[in-house]
Structures are given as C-alpha cells and as structure tokens.
Structure 1
Amino acid sequence: MGNPEPPDPDEESARRRRQRDTEPIPRLQPEQDPGYGTDPSYSDETSYRTVYGADPGGTRQVHEEPVITYAPPDISADELAGLQIDSSGNIVRPRRVLPLEDEPTALVARYLFPTERFRGEWKRHWIHLAIPLLIGVFATFVLGYLSGYLASQEVAGLTTAVVLIWLVVLGWVAWRITDWYFDRFILTNKRVMVVNGIVTRKVGMMPLQRVTDMKYEQSPLARFLNYGTFVLESAGQDQALREIKHLPNPNELYLRVVEEMYEPHAVEARLGKEQAQQKKEEQEDGA
C-alpha cells in the first residue's frame, strides 16, 4: 500500500480561512458583563436581534442575542466651553489675550484719526528705568557720604557743590521717570506707533500692511520679568520703527498684533460681543 499524498498547502490554508471566517464571534451576555446592573449607562430595556452563522461543519445556525444600549453621557456646559460653534460654523476657543481697552488716553488720542480703531497702548516695562534708578541710589549714598565728610572737615564750599551735584542727579532721574511715563507703544487696526518725549516729541509709526516680518526676543532675565524687544521688518528701506525695547507682556502683545494683521474680522466680532455683554450687564445692574 503506497504512502498517502500530503495535503496541498494552498487547500489547507483556504480551509482554515473558511473555518475562521464562519466561527461565531463570542459575545458577552448582559449578566456576564461586570458593569451590568451597576453602570448607569445601561438602559433598563433590552432588545434582541437575529444573528445568522454557521458552525465548522457548515450547518446554518440562527439564534437571538440581546442588544445592549447605552444612555448618552452627561456632559456639562463647562466641559463644552472650548468646543462651542459660532454662527459661522467655527469653533469658539477660549481667548488667551486680555480684553482690549475701551478708549485711548488723552496723550494718545491726539495722534489717532477718526476712522481708525484703537486697540491698546502700553508703557515700557519698569526695567527701562533700572539704570537711572541705580544711578540715583548710588549717587545718593556716595554723595551723601562725601558731603558728610566734607562738612566734618568744615569745607563749606565743597559741601555745597556736592549737594548741588546730588540735586542735579536726582533731577535727571526724575526726568527719565517722566519721560518713561509719556513713552507709549500704540496699536490700532491700521498701524503701530511709538510716542515719546516731554519737551520735544517724537512720533514714529508703521502701517500694519507694510509689516513683512515681526518677532520678539527675550533674554533669561526678560523671560523672568516678562518683557521683551520687538523687531519689525517692513517692505521699505527706511523704517521709522524697527526695534522697540522693553515692552511688557511680549507674548500677549505679539498675539494682539498678529491677530490684527491676519484676523481683523475676528477682532471686530469679538469686540461687538464684548460690548453687547457689557451693555447687558449695565442694564441688569440698573434694574
């Protein structure tokens, strides 16, 4: 009697695939599910559906199995705050910038024309006064000690000169502080401006449409104290504004300028909503 021929590998693989595809998928019955009866997402009503299958021998099987339905999850309005849809179909995301100022100060208003929209004004960071303040403190200690020494030596003329020098230094420090107070960086919907000076006034501006590149730089100290230097590049060669030092909250200011350059309609829409909300709150307070 001859040896039987080995099975064809292709036919054997095909038979295994048919057997695997026709095996019924095991399903948990409701009472076998650990969460049944304790999970509030299960519904009390159980429906059934007809399932058709076949066993490995090819016999057709028909049986009923329960269909487990789940109640929709309870999601609060706070959880959906970052996924709200506006009237245009866009997702309304939480704002990362502070609200815009309502009106410019009298110092800035004189440089704005009626058709442009005011977006904000900023004084330079207090680090801008670090050197003048250090000079004033140092001069106070040194000149105070020197005047005391000269007074003990009964040198009246030199003592008076030292006091006068000290007053001059303090006057220079006060001048720098006043100049810092009147130094403003201004943003509108059409341009950026820098206004500075007390006796002589300097006003520089750059249209937003001409800004081709913008960046801000921060040293480790600037990151710790939250200030930075803005660098603006424009299409023209002569630039009234290019490097603006010691501006506070540079990330906040960067977002505002970029939004005004690329999404002006979004700014107008947000301002309209803020004004409507403010009027509503005023009416509620008045009632």
Structure 2
Amino acid sequence: MPAAPPQVSRRVAKRYLLADEQVVVSTRWHWAKMVRPAAAVVVGLFLTLWVAASVTDPAATGVALCVLAVVIAWAAWQVLEWRCEWFIATDRRLLKTYGLITQRVAMMPLVKVTDMSYDRTILGRMLGYGRFVMESAGQDQALSHIDYIPEPDEKYQAMCETIFGRDNRDPGEDEERRDDHDDRYADPTGPQGRVTRSRGTDSRWEPVDRRDLPRDWDWVDEEARGGRAATRRRVAVDPDPTPLR
C-alpha cells in the first residue's frame, strides 16, 4: 500500500507553505524531548514532599512550594513550545517553525544542502528518535542540527531521495551531458554532415544525411563550446526559419 501523505498543521500550512509545494516530511519533535521537563517536575515534587515532612518551619515549606510552582510553570511552557514546533521538508526547502509568543521560521533551500548525516544514540534507538545534521555553504544555525526526529529511518530515506535525487542534479551536469550528446553527432569531415538544427522554434540537434536536406540550405562551420576545449562541426542552417504550419 502507498504511504500516507505527511500530516501538517493547518496553521503552519496556511502561513508558511506555498500552494504548489509538496510536503515530504512533516513532524513535531519526539516526546522524548519532554523527558527533561517531566523529570524536573518529579524531582521538584519529591523535594517538596520531603521538606514538608521533615521540616516543621512553615516558611521552608512555603519556599519549597514556590520552587515547585516555578518548576511546573517551566515544564508547562516547554510543553506548549513543543506543540508549536514543527520540522517540515518539502520538495523545495527545509523549514523549522518554533516560538510560542514570538513565532520564528528558519528556512533553507534544498539546493544549498551539501551533506546530511544521521545520528542515533543508544537512547534514541530505544525510544525511537534520531538526529539530522545539515551541512551547507551559508548554514543556518537553527537548521544545522535537527534533533528528536520520530521514525527517523523513514524520514531520512524520504529526505535523501528529495535532496539528492535525480531531479535535483546540478544544472551544469545536464549542460555537460547535452554537450556530449551534440559532439557525438558532430562529423566535421567529409561532404556528408551529420548534424542539423531542426526547423522552427525547436532547436534540437538531429543526425541527418546531407542529401536529404533542401538545396537552399547552407552549410557553415560552428564552434561548439562546452566544459571542454572548443570543437568545430558542420551544421545545416535553414535560410527561412519561419515555423512550419
């Protein structure tokens, strides 16, 4: 069965995503990020109960209760921030939304990502989360380390396919391949040229026989410049480039 499309918050999708963007990965941080606030509340509650049971001074008990209230408030703030944070990878860019009062968005185009490493600690393998480390030329610190990613194996594969897939090759690579394709048909020797420019607005190179061309076409020498040294080839030029109807 095909995998279900990633689910993203309507608020995030409406504010930050373009209409024609395809979401590849969309997730909140793993619940393991809340282990530290939960542990702080448990420790604070234990210490408060210990102070209340062992100290008879009401002032000490009041101070312990105040400290516990502060810890609970901090933990609640962490939970609310966790619910507002999203990591989204589309077919164009990487986004990270965070901040409860002041909302921030960190963004990195996919074309700037030069490498992505994937780490899983022992605790991460036990609880089911991982960390992505992004490397780029103009690196955004907010997106350099993406930690607490749930189901990291599937998300890592999806992101690698999107970032380093065939559809995201360097344009220079395609240009070099086109030059190789053109030079393959170049035959500067002999009366029968083997390269011609097709008629009309379409400018493809096609192998032809000189005898099959109209008599009013002219043969000229043209330099083919690419990533290598310049070469010369015989090409046929239509004297009337008006598109055929």
With the shorter chain as reference, the TM-score category is 0.5 to 0.7
Structure 2 runs not aligned, ≥5 long: 169-245
Alpha-carbon separation, structure 1, partners of 2:69 and 2:40: 13
Alpha-carbon offset, residue 118 of structure 1: 2.8
AA matched with 1:113:
L
Does 2:139 align with 1:234?
no
Structure 2 Cα separation of the partners of residues 159 and 186 of structure 1: 46
Higher RCO (CA 8 Å, separation ≥ 6 residues): 2
Secondary structure of the residue aligned to 1:110 is helix
Distance between the aligned counterparts of 1:160 and 1:178, measured in 2?
A: 27
Contact 1:211 1:233 in 2 (8 A): yes
Q: Quick check: 1:137 aligned with 2:42?
A: yes
Q: How far off its partner does 1:182 sit?
A: 1.2
- Asked if 2 retains the 8 angstrom alpha-carbon contact of 1:143 and 1:162, the reply is yes
Post-superposition, which runs of at least 4 consecutive aligned residues in structure 1 deviate over 6 A?
none
Q: Which residue among 51, 70, 73 is the counterpart of 1:146?
A: 51
Aligned residue type for 2:129: Y
Contact residue 44 and residue 71 of structure 2 kept, 8 A: yes
Amino acid at match of 1:247: I
Q: Which has the larger radius of gyration?
A: 1
Matches for 1:20-39 after TM superposition, within 5 Å: none
Match of 2:77 in 1: 175
Counterparts of 1:160 and 1:245 in 2: how far apart (Å)?
A: 38
Distance of aligned partners of 1:235 and 1:113 in 2 relative to their CA distance in 1, 3 Å threshold? same
Map 1:203-282; keep pairs closer than 5 Å: 203-236=105-138, 240-261=142-163, 262=165
TM-score, with structure 2 as normaliser: 0.62
Q: Secondary structure at the match of 2:111?
A: helix
User: What are the superposed Cα offsets for residues 24-56 of structure 1, whole Å, 9 maximum, x if unpaired?
Assistant: xxxxxxxxxxxxxxxxxxxxxxxxxxxxxxxxx
CA contact (8 A) 2:25 2:155 kept: no
Give ranges in structure 1 of 5+ residues lacking alignment. 1-93, 266-287
C-alpha separation between the residues in 2 aligned to 1:160 and 1:220?
40
Superposed, which structure 2 residues align to 1:20-169 within 5 Å?
A: 98-101=3-6, 104-150=9-55, 153=56, 155-169=57-71
3-state DSSP of counterpart to 2:162: helix
TM-score for the superposition, normalised by structure 1: 0.53
Contact 1:147 1:163 survives alignment (8 Å): no
Checking the alignment, whether the CA contact within 8 Å between 1:104 and 1:118 is kept in structure 2 is no
Q: Quick one: structure 1 residues 102 and 170, their matched pair in 2 at CA, closer, same or farther if it must change by over 3 Å? A: closer
- Tell me which residue corresponds to 1:198: 100
